[in-house]
Amino acid sequence: MHNNPGMWAMVAMLAVAAWAWTPSPAFPFLKKSSIRRGRRTREAHALDRAVMFDLTRAALAGGSAIPQALEAVGIACGGAARQQLTRVAAILRMGGQWDEAWLEAPAFAYLSDALEPSWCEGAPPEALLERTAQSIRARRQRVAREAAIRLGEQLIFPLGLCFLPAFVIIGVIPVVVSVGTSI
């Protein structure tokens, strides 16, 4: 049974049909889109926003002022984040304006938006940072659930295409043949 070339041809044909039918990345190793692959690579190395909010909240809860917290988060993240956030912290320490300081770190506009009420109006930042991180995680879970539902819907036809013939060949035909020969 393992050396049956017809079976392997059927399996290969069904795999190609499933790959062609499902627009989702169910078979990402077969996709030839280098743009898509490059985007995934960049996203994998991007800093997680929820983690950035958690790190900043932890630094602020530890008693640091916003510039020191930004510098600590930048040092913890390293790379370009370190350069940009330490530059923002330095501008804020020297008395620069909030918007002017964040021009140096456009990739961290989300962090700027979350900390601005605290810097400009004196609002406590910890609760806002925590709620924002929680909402990011909740949104990710919702998107993941929706993607799982869509994937399940998209795989119904390929799975039916695979299992229905097998059920007929293995389950129905032997019963019909045995009943037909006994009559």
Tens digit of pLDDT for each residue in 66-79? 999 999 999 988 88
Per-residue confidence (pLDDT) for residue 7, from 0 to 100? 65
- Judged against a pLDDT cut of 70, whether residue 58 lies above it is answered with yes
Q: pLDDT of 162-177, one tens digit each?
A: 888 888 888 888 888 8
Rounded to whole angstroms, the Cα distance separating 170 from 173 reads 7
- Burial of 21: CB neighbours in 10 Å, binned 0-12, 13-18, 19+: middle
Say if 2 falls within a structural domain.
no
Q: pLDDT of 124-152, one tens digit each?
A: 899 889 999 999 999 999 999 999 999 98
Rounded to whole angstroms, the Cα distance separating 136 from 153 reads 26
Per-residue confidence (pLDDT) for residue 98, from 0 to 100? 93
Say if 143 falls within a structural domain.
no
Is pTM, for the whole model, over 0.75?
Answer: no
Q: State both tokens at 27.
A: 């078979």
Say if 132 falls within a structural domain.
yes
Residue with tokens 């690579």: 41
Say if 175 falls within a structural domain.
no
Range of lowest pLDDT (16-30, 85-99, 138-152): 16-30
Say if 149 falls within a structural domain.
no
Say if 81 falls within a structural domain.
yes
Per the structure, the complete domain to which residue 52 belongs is given by: 48-138
Tell me if 56 sits within 8 A of 115, measured CB to CB: yes
Say if 76 falls within a structural domain.
yes
Indicate the number of domains in the chain: 1
Question: Is 148 in a helix, a strand, or coil?
Answer: helix
Residue with tokens 């994937």: 151
Q: State both tokens at 52.
A: 């950035």
Rounded to whole angstroms, the Cα distance separating 148 from 56 reads 32
Per-residue confidence (pLDDT) for residue 23, from 0 to 100? 57
Q: State both tokens at 67.
A: 């510039």
Say if 60 falls within a structural domain.
yes
Tell me if 115 sits within 8 A of 125, measured CB to CB: yes
